[in-house]
């Protein structure tokens, strides 16, 4: 079964797989690793421009390792799952420190680096060093669950253990890099989550899910939980076409990014702003609420726009006044960027504190 399964996919990939992605023309572990991290839970079309901009700014691993983490976060802004960017920077520094700037070749050693799990490590080792190592990303899990009729949520420990065992058994002795890419391409292009194109699948005649009419049910979804709804009031403090931002703590949502200060529930805005930022409020205007979905909760953001007059000259650590025409280069979470760009586009004339 293993040899036939792999051979079908390799033949299919030669004619129908993806061959023009920018990270496919290299065995440079830095570039392959960067693409693997960016592609985690993110579509190829979204990743490509980020990947190209990232390499333009950090063309080598030493350049990335030497850069301030704030610069890394700024380039990552909008791509989401920001722990990936922090781990990317930490991993580059670990490779410089422990491996003389070169990625280790052993998948197990690669998996010990920050932000790299078993499947990503095996991808790097396979594509760059010719390792015999199976992968198990979301696309591969879907292909295996359908082809072999594996029930249960693939993210659960027991099912994932079974999938790893199957992936190891199916791994061919040769052309492992092509085979691994073929699995990912089949899942992304043919064996898609919804409306799979079974007529174009090289595994159609052996697929248990297709034969049983269960392609819609497999792989089984994660048991549904009620997604908590949270609310937050974000303060948009404006002075002379600048906005006050604070650096988020390294852990938690938007870790390490610049964000709008959050007003604690039940707090008086004027008192809070005066006490924490030494600013006097000149005018106040609410802005439209914004809903943003995270992986484990939904956040309803209520921006509160205020024209203020700063009282002290020195800034507390972590606070900065950012000019509106510098928004493009700032490390901002996507919803914060949307709020500020909308405000900037409107001209914000009613709250221009310089006119008072």
Question: What values do phi and psi take at 328, rounded to 5?
Answer: -60, -30
For 317, the 3-state DSSP assignment is: coil
Contacting residues for 309 by C-beta, under 8 A, at least 6 apart = 239, 279, 280, 282, 353
Alpha-carbon distance 277 to 260, whole Å?
12
Alpha-carbon distance 72 to 85, whole Å?
7
Query: What residue has token string 């700014």?
Result: 57
- Catalytic residue list: 36
Alpha-carbon distance 44 to 111, whole Å?
23
Query: What residue has token string 């199976």?
Result: 134
Kindly tell me the burial class for residue 47, based on how many C-beta atoms sit within 10 Å of its own C-beta (0-12, 13-18, 19 or more).
Answer: buried
Give the CA count within 13 Å in the CB-facing half-sphere of 152: 12
């Amino acid at each position: 079964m293993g040899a036939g399964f792999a051979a079908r996919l390799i033949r299919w990939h030669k004619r129908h797989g993806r061959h023009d992605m920018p990270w496919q023309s290299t065995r440079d572990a830095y570039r392959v690793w960067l693409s693997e991290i960016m592609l985690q839970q993110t579509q190829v079309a979204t990743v490509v421009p980020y990947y190209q901009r990232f390499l333009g700014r950090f063309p080598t691993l030493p350049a990335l390792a030497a850069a301030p983490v704030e610069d890394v976060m700024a380039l990552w802004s909008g791509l989401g799952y920001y722990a990936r960017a922090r781990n990317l920077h930490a991993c580059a520094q670990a490779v410089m420190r422990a491996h003389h700037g070169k990625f280790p070749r052993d998948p197990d050693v690669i998996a010990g680096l920050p932000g790299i799990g078993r499947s990503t490590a095996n991808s790097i080792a396979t594509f760059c060093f010719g390792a015999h190592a199976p992968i198990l990303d979301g696309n591969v899990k879907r292909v295996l669950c359908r082809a072999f009729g594996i029930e249960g949520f693939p993210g659960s420990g027991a099912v994932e253990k079974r999938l790893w065992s199957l992936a190891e058994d199916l791994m061919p002795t040769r052309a492992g890099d092509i085979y691994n890419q073929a699995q990912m391409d089949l899942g992304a292009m043919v064996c898609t989550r919804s409306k799979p194109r079974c007529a174009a699948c090289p595994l159609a005649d052996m697929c248990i899910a297709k034969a049983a009419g269960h392609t819609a049910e497999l792989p089984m979804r994660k048991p549904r939980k009620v997604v908590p709804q949270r609310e937050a009031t974000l303060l948009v403090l404006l002075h002379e076409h600048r906005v006050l931002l604070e650096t988020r703590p390294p852990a938690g949502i938007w870790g390490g990014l610049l964000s709008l200060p959050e007003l604690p529930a039940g707090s008086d805005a004027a008192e809070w702003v005066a006490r924490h930022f030494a600013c006097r409020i000149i005018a106040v205007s609410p802005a439209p609420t914004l809903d943003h979905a995270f992986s484990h909760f939904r956040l309803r953001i209520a921006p509160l726009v205020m024209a203020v007059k700063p009282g002290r000259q020195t800034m507390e650590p972590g606070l900065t006044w950012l000019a509106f025409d510098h928004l493009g280069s700032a490390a901002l979470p996507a919803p914060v960027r949307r709020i500020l760009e909308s405000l900037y586009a409107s001209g914000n004339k009613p709250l221009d504190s310089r006119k008072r």
